Structure formats: structure tokens, C-alpha cells
């Protein structure tokens, strides 16, 4: 079976998830074609089963915005015909589901049928998708996909609340490749062995409440000798650096930027912070748990479906940084309790093992293609 995958090639969770899915499918014998504007950041190796096709978007003085979805839909038509792709799986509805629908229509004109699977990831529904400027087209492309999945029950409910959906939506949670988190890396030499390591990974956007991450660490650090590792980059990073400086903890907060060493850093972290405002799933929290790192998080959106309160971590209302600080200090100051939570978080992550989740997508593909 030949599968085309459309996603954002960036560090964000939907791109990471789509890449991991493609690699896992290729290992199972599927021929995989990634079609996007850059090679996905996590797609290290291209082997004979995995291909990448760049969507080129020529500019023109008349264009204020280069029409990416037009270039993407044309590329999809070409690639489906050239490689006899059986099915397109698009990740993040905007503009991928819409472009895939246009490609499907263009191919139908040439008597080629191609099923489209759309996976909803989060802000394509909650933040951006439901904006009046996009809502009509997003609703249309969800209702005209051949199959729709959402990464959490919370996101499915948000979709049904925010849009007039006539299509079924199946919840298939994100997954993690646990083999990638068994590495006990020597990076521990970066820090003095007595420091507790607190880590945060995100795209540093407003929804992640980066200021809360700094405030929570500031509160922890008053009682616990610790360091904060901040991985990722985005619009809120500068403000976070300024806040760390103004609180006098600049030397205790390390900003790594976009890093391909997240797994190594997680392998010696003691706690992960995710105090998001909005979060459909929280893939970064699942990755931390896979590395045996307990999570202090807010209870927004799909996070409670991932981070099990009082088992793999502790949850609080959005913005309740005081409780998050107290929960963190209670965990970090009791070695036995911390080790129990570390073991539990790895156990919780095993419930999202890639080998158990990916067959759900395979079944969808097979049903659609054999229809
Ligand atoms: O919208 C974003 O913040 C980016 C988006 C992405 O592409 O990473 O994140 C969403 O998809 C992830 C993968 O399914 C989820 O783990 C994130 O929770 C979700 N982000 C939000 O809902 C804010």
C-alpha cells in the first residue's frame, strides 16, 4: 500500500507525530511519501520505503500571500499519479484537508479515486480553525474527508461544539516510540549531580503560558537546588529570558532553542512542566513520561487523558502556579515519592506505545481502500 502524508515539517507535535507514523508504517512495508514544503525535521533518514517531495510555492509581485494550498493540491495530484498513491493522510486540518479535497476533485476528473484521512491535532480546531476567517472552509473540508480522527476525546468534543459536523470522528490518541527513550545519556555532566532538573519543551507560543513555567521554576528554586532547561523556540522566548533575568535566576535557566537532543535531556530530567492554557493532547508531556519524567501540568483540554493525576504527575487549574509550585516541591523533596512517580510515568506512557496505536490507522486505510 502506498500512503501520502501531508503535515507541517516543523518541530510542532503534529509534524513529529506524522513523521513517526510514516517511519513506523515504512518499517511495516508501506511505501510512504511525505509531501510538504520542507523535509520534516524528525525525518532523519530516507530509505527505499520513505520519500519526500517538496512543495514549491513560486512568488509573484501580485501575490500578497503565496497560495500554498494551490501549490500543495497540484503537487498532491502529480504525486498520486506518479507514485500510484492509494490514500492521502493529512495532519492538521488547515490548509491540508482543504488542499487534499481539491486534489481529490481534480483526480476524480481523471477517473482516479483517492480516499482522504484527516487527523485533527488541536489549534486547527480550537484556536485557528474556528476563527470566522477560516471556519467555513475548515468545516467543509472536515465534512468532506473520507475519514476523520482526533487526537483526544477533548478535541473531538471541541470539534463537535465549534463546528456543524456531519462526519464521524474517531479518537486515536497520539503515540510514542518508547525505544527512543531508553537512552541513559552522559549529558548529566552538563550539570552538578545535586541539581534537580526541571524541563519544558514547546513552540513557545502564548497558549503554552511560558511565563508560568518561569514563575513555577522560580518558586521551586527557592526551596530546591535546581536548574530549568527550556527546549524550543517561538514568540514568547524573549519575554521568558527577560523574566528569568529580572527574577535573578538567569544562571539557572538554560534556553536550548530548537534541539534534536530533547530525548537525551529528558533522560536525566526530574520533572516536566506544561502549564498550558489550551492543549488538545500535550505530546511533549507524553514524551517526558516515556523518559520516566513526571509531569506538573494544567488540566486543560486533553491533558488529563494523558497525564494521570497523582500517578504520572499532578494537575492543576490553568494559572494556579502556586499549587504547581507546591506540588513540584512535595515531589522533588521526597526521593521515594519522586521515584514512584518516575516509574509510574513510564508505565503510563506504555499505554500510548506506537505499536499499539498505529494499527488503528492501518485498519482505517485498509477499510477505505478495500471499499
Ligand atoms: O497548534 C499547536 O500548538 C501546534 C500543534 C502541533 O502541530 O504541534 O500542537 C497540537 O498538536 C499536537 C500533536 O497532536 C498536540 O500534542 C498539541 O496538544 C496540540 N496543541 C494544542 O492543542 C495547543
Domain edges within the chain:
2-175+353-369, 178-350
CB of 40 within 6 A of ligand 1: the answer is no
Mean pLDDT of 27-55: 91
Q: Report pLDDT digits (tens) over 284-319.
A: 999 999 999 999 999 999 999 999 999 999 999 999
pLDDT score for 281: 98
**Segment (H or E) for 227:** strand 226-231
∠ Cα 282 285 342 (to 5°): 155
pLDDT score for 153: 98
What is the DSSP secondary-structure string of 93-145?
Answer: HHHHHHHHHHHHHHHHTTT----EEEEE-STTTTTTTTSTTTHHHHHHHHHTS
CB of 117 within 6 A of ligand 1: the answer is no
CB of 176 within 6 A of ligand 1: the answer is no
Nearest-atom index, ligand 1, CA of 276: 23
Mean pLDDT of 84-101: 98
What torsion, rounded to 10 degrees, do the Cα atoms 323, 352, 115, 26 define?
Answer: 130
Residue 38 predicted with pLDDT over 90: yes
pLDDT score for 309: 98
**Segment (H or E) for 212:** helix 210-223
CB of 155 within 6 A of ligand 1: the answer is no
Tell how far the Cα of 161 is from the centroid of ligand 1, in angstroms: 19
CB of 93 within 6 A of ligand 1: the answer is no
Tell how far the Cα of 61 is from the centroid of ligand 1, in angstroms: 33
CB of 96 within 6 A of ligand 1: the answer is no
Tell how far the Cα of 108 is from the centroid of ligand 1, in angstroms: 32
CB of 9 within 6 A of ligand 1: the answer is no
Q: Report pLDDT digits (tens) over 156-196.
A: 999 999 999 999 999 999 999 999 997 665 556 666 668 99
CB of 287 within 6 A of ligand 1: the answer is no
Residue 361 binned pLDDT confidence (cut-offs 50, 70, 90): very high
The answer to which of 38-52, 154-168, 325-339 has the lowest mean pLDDT is: 38-52
Instruction: Identify the CA nearest to 335 among candidates 266, 286, 274, 270.
Output: 270
CB of 292 within 6 A of ligand 1: the answer is no
Tell how far the Cα of 15 is from the centroid of ligand 1, in angstroms: 9
Main-chain phi, psi angles of 357, to 5 degrees? -90, -40
Whether the CB-CB separation of 301 and 280 falls below 8 Å is answered with: yes
Tell how far the Cα of 120 is from the centroid of ligand 1, in angstroms: 9
pLDDT score for 190: 61
Instruction: Give the predicted TM-score (pTM) of the model.
Output: 0.95
Q: Report pLDDT digits (tens) over 54-90.
A: 999 999 999 999 999 999 999 999 999 999 999 999 9
CB of 280 within 6 A of ligand 1: the answer is yes
Nearest-atom index, ligand 1, CA of 278: 23
pLDDT score for 47: 73
Tell how far the Cα of 209 is from the centroid of ligand 1, in angstroms: 14
Query: Cell 480546531, residue?
Result: 125
Classified as helix, coil or strand, 173 is coil
- Separation CA 302–CA 126 (nearest Å): 12
**Segment (H or E) for 73:** helix 68-83
The answer to which of 19-28, 178-187, 340-349 has the lowest mean pLDDT is: 178-187
- Separation CA 117–CA 248 (nearest Å): 49
CATH 3.30.420.40 describes domain 178-350: no
pLDDT score for 197: 96
Instruction: Identify the CA nearest to 152 among candidates 58, 291, 63, 278.
Output: 278
**Segment (H or E) for 171:** strand 170-171
What is the DSSP secondary-structure string of 324-357?
Answer: HHHHHHHHHT-HHHHHHHHHHHHHHHGGGBHHHH
CB of 274 within 6 A of ligand 1: the answer is no
Residue 333 predicted with pLDDT over 80: yes
Residue 42 predicted with pLDDT over 90: no
Q: Report pLDDT digits (tens) over 231-279.
A: 999 999 999 999 999 999 999 999 999 988 899 999 999 999 999 999 9
CB of 204 within 6 A of ligand 1: the answer is no
Residue 202 predicted with pLDDT over 70: yes
pLDDT score for 189: 65
pLDDT score for 259: 87
pLDDT score for 260: 83
Q: What is the mean pLDDT of the chain?
A: 95
Main-chain phi, psi angles of 31, to 5 degrees? -90, 125
- Separation CA 177–CA 260 (nearest Å): 15
Instruction: Give the residue whose CA is nearest to atom 12 of ligand 1.
Output: 13
- Separation CA 320–CA 298 (nearest Å): 8
For domain 2-175+353-369, the CATH superfamily is Glycogen Phosphorylase B; (3.40.50.2000)
Residue 259 DSSP symbol: -
Query: Cell 465549534, residue?
Result: 162
- Separation CA 177–CA 159 (nearest Å): 27
Buried b (16+ CB within 10 A) or exposed e, 48-61: ebbbbbebebeeee
Greatest CA span in the chain, whole angstroms?
68
- Separation CA 256–CA 42 (nearest Å): 17
Domain 2-175+353-369 and domain 178-350 have a common topology: yes
pLDDT score for 183: 65
Nearest-atom index, ligand 1, CA of 286: 16
CB of 208 within 6 A of ligand 1: the answer is no
Amino acid at each position: 500500500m502506498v500512503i501520502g502524508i501531508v503535515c507541517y515539517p516543523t518541530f510542532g507535535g503534529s509534524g513529529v507525530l506524522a513523521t513517526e507514523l510514516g517511519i513506523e508504517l515504512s518499517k511495516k512495508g508501506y511505501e510512504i511519501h511525505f509531501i510538504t514544503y520542507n523535509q520534516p525535521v524528525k525525518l532523519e533518514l530516507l530509505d527505499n520505503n520513505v520519500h519526500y517531495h517538496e512543495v514549491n510555492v513560486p512568488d509573484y509581485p501580485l501575490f500578497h500571500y503565496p497560495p500554498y494550498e494551490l501549490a500543495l493540491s497540484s503537487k498532491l495530484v502529480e504525486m498520486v499519479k506518479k507514485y500510484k498513491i492509494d490514500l492521502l493522510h493529512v495532519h492538521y486540518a488547515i490548509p491540508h484537508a482543504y488542499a487534499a479535497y481539491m486534489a481529490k476533485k481534480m483526480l476524480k476528473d481523471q477517473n482516479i479515486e483517492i480516499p482522504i484521512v484527516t487527523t485533527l491535532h488541536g489549534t486547527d480546531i480550537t484556536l485557528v480553525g474556528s476563527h470566522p476567517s477560516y471556519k467555513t472552509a475548515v468545516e467543509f473540508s472536515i465534512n468532506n474527508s473520507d475519514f476523520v480522527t482526533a487526537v483526544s476525546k477533548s478535541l473531538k468534543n471541541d470539534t463537535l461544539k465549534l463546528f456543524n459536523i456531519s462526519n464521524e470522528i474517531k479518537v486515536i490518541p497520539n503515540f510514542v516510540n518508547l525505544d527512543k527513550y531508553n537512552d541513559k545519556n552522559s549529558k548529566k555532566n552538563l550539570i552538578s549531580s545535586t541539581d534537580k532538573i526541571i524541563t519544558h519543551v514547546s513552540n513557545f507560543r502564548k497558549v503554552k503560558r511560558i511565563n508560568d513555567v518561569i514563575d513555577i521554576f522560580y518558586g521551586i528554586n527557592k526551596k530546591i537546588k535546581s536548574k530549568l532547561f527550556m527546549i524550543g523556540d517561538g514568540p514568547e522566548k524573549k519575554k521568558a529570558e527577560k523574566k528569568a533575568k529580572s527574577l535573578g535566576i538567569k544562571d539557572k535557566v538554560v534556553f536550548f532553542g530548537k534541539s534534536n537532543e530533547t530525548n537525551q535531556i529528558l533522560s536525566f530530567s526530574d520533572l516536566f512542566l506544561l502549564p498550558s492554557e489550551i492543549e488538545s493532547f500535550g505530546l511533549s508531556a507524553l514524551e517526558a513520561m516515556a523518559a520516566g519524567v513526571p509531569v506538573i501540568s494544567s488540566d486543560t483540554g486533553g491533558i488529563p487523558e494523558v497525564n494521570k493525576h497523582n500517578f504520572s504527575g499532578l494537575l492543576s487549574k490553568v494559572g494556579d502556579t502556586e499549587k504547581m509550585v507546591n506540588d513540584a516541591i512535595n515531589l522533588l523533596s521526597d526521593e521515594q515519592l519522586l521515584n514512584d512517580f518516575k516509574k509510574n510515568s513510564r508505565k503510563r506512557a506504555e499505554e500510548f506505545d506506537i505499536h499499539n496505536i498505529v494499527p488503528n490507522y492501518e485498519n482505517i486505510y485498509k477499510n477505505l481502500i478495500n471499499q
